[in-house]
C-alpha cells in the first residue's frame, strides 16, 4: 500500500514508515490545500523522490472547494509537481475537487502524460474520468463509492477499463459504509473493493487481483514481497 505525503514537513515520517515495512511505499508532495508550509520546488521534490521506497510524486492537484481567492499559487504548485514527476520518471497522485477543467488543462500543458499517474479519491463525472484516461492516468475509487448518494460514481466504477482501476481508503477520512463517519483505516479498503465489484458485476477477489496488478503496473519502482503478495492502493 501507499502512504501519501501532504507536506514536506511530515514527509520524513512518511518515508520512515515505508522504510520500516516491506509492504508500504511512500510518495512525496504537498497537498493543494496546505498553506503556511514549505513550498516545494521541482528540485526539492526530485531530490526527495530519489529514494527506493518513494514510488510517486504527490499528493498534488487543485482544490477549489476549500481554497478561495486568487489560486494562482495552487496552480503553480501543481505545475511544479508535474515537472518533478517528469524528471523523476515517477507517477503523479492527483487530487481534484471542483476544478476539473483547470486540472486537466494544466496536466495537458505540463505534459503529465509523460509521467503518468492516478486521479486519486475520484469523485468527478465519467467525462472527466474519460479525459484523464485519455491522458494515460488511472482512476482510484475510495469509500465515497459506497455512499448511498454516489450512483454517478458507481457508474464511473462500472465503466473504467479494468487495467486502469485502483481502490483506496484515503485514510483517515471518508470511511466506507458500514464505517461511515468513523476514523478510516487501510483494512477498510475491502469494502470499497466489494462495492466496485458489485457495480461491475464481478467478485471482490477479481477486483483485488486486478487492482494489485494495476498497482505494480503504475508504481513500477515498487517491489513485490513474494509471489503471493496482494497490495491495494490505499492513501
Query: Mind listing the domains of the chain with CATH numbers?
Result: 2-218 (3.20.20.140)
Query: What's residue 92's pLDDT?
Result: 98
145-154: Cβ within 8 A, 24+ apart:
145/176, 145/192, 145/195, 145/196, 145/199, 146/176, 146/177, 146/180, 146/191, 146/192, 146/195, 147/177, 147/180, 148/177, 152/125, 152/126, 153/122, 153/123, 154/195, 154/199
pLDDT digits (tens, 9 = 90+) for 32-88: 999 999 999 999 999 999 999 999 999 999 999 877 778 899 999 999 999 999 999
pLDDT of 227 higher than 50: no
Mean pLDDT across the chain, nearest whole number? 94
pLDDT of 233 higher than 70: no
pLDDT above 70: percentage of residues in the chain: 96
Instruction: Give the whole-angstrom CA distance, residue 204 versus residue 101.
Output: 33
Instruction: Give the whole-angstrom CA distance, residue 54 versus residue 52.
Output: 6
pLDDT of 194 higher than 70: yes
Instruction: Give the whole-angstrom CA distance, residue 159 versus residue 101.
Output: 21
pLDDT digits (tens, 9 = 90+) for 78-115: 999 999 999 999 999 999 999 999 999 999 999 999 99
Rounded to a whole number of angstroms, the CA Rg of the chain reads 16
Q: Is the peptide bond before 172 cis (omega within 30 degrees of 0)?
A: yes
70 burial (CB, 10 Å; 0-12 / 13-18 / 19+) is exposed
pLDDT of 228 higher than 80: no
What is the arithmetic mean of pLDDT over 185-190? 96
**Sheet containing strand 117-119, strands side by side:** 2-3, 25-28, 54-63, 92-97, 117-119, 138-141, 165-167
Q: Which of 121, 2, 147 is nearest to 63 (CA)?
A: 121
What is the arithmetic mean of pLDDT over 177-204? 97
100 burial (CB, 10 Å; 0-12 / 13-18 / 19+) is buried
Query: What's residue 226's pLDDT?
Result: 52
Query: What's residue 66's pLDDT?
Result: 76
For the chain, the first-to-last Cα distance in angstroms comes to 8
216 burial (CB, 10 Å; 0-12 / 13-18 / 19+) is middle
DSSP reduced 3-state for 39: coil
Amino acid at each position: 500500500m501507499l502512504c501519501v505525503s501532504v507536506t514536506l514537513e511530515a514527509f520524513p515520517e512518511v518515508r520512515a514508515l515505508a522504510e520500516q515495512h516491506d509492504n508500504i511505499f511512500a510518495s512525496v508532495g504537498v497537498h493543494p490545500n496546505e498553506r503556511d508550509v514549505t513550498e516545494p520546488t521541482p528540485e526539492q521534490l526530485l531530490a526527495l523522490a530519489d529514494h527506493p521506497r518513494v514510488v510517486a510524486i504527490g499528493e498534488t492537484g487543485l482544490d477549489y472547494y476549500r481554497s478561495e481567492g486568487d489560486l494562482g499559487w495552487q496552480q503553480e504548485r501543481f505545475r511544479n509537481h508535474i515537472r518533478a514527476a517528469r524528471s523523476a520518471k515517477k507517477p503523479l497522485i492527483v487530487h481534484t475537487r471542483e476544478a476539473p477543467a483547470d486540472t486537466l488543462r494544466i496536466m495537458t500543458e505540463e505534459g503529465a502524460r509523460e509521467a503518468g499517474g492516478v486521479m486519486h479519491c475520484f469523485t468527478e463525472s465519467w467525462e472527466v474520468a474519460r479525459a484523464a484516461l485519455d491522458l494515460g492516468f488511472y482512476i482510484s475509487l475510495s469509500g465515497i463509492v459506497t455512499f448511498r448518494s454516489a450512483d454517478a460514481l458507481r457508474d464511473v466504477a462500472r465503466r473504467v477499463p479494468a487495467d486502469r482501476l485502483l481502490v483506496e481508503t484515503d485514510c483517515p477520512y471518508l470511511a466506507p459504509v458500514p464505517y461511515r463517519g468513523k476514523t478510516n483505516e487501510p483494512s477498510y479498503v475491502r469494502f470499497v473493493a466489494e462495492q466496485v465489484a458489485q457495480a461491475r458485476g464481478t467478485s471482490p477477489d477479481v477486483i483485488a487481483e486486478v487492482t494489485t496488478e494495476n498497482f505494480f503496473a503504475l508504481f513500477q519502482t515498487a517491489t513485490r514481497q513474494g509471489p503471493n503478495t496482494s497490495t491495494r492502493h490505499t492513501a
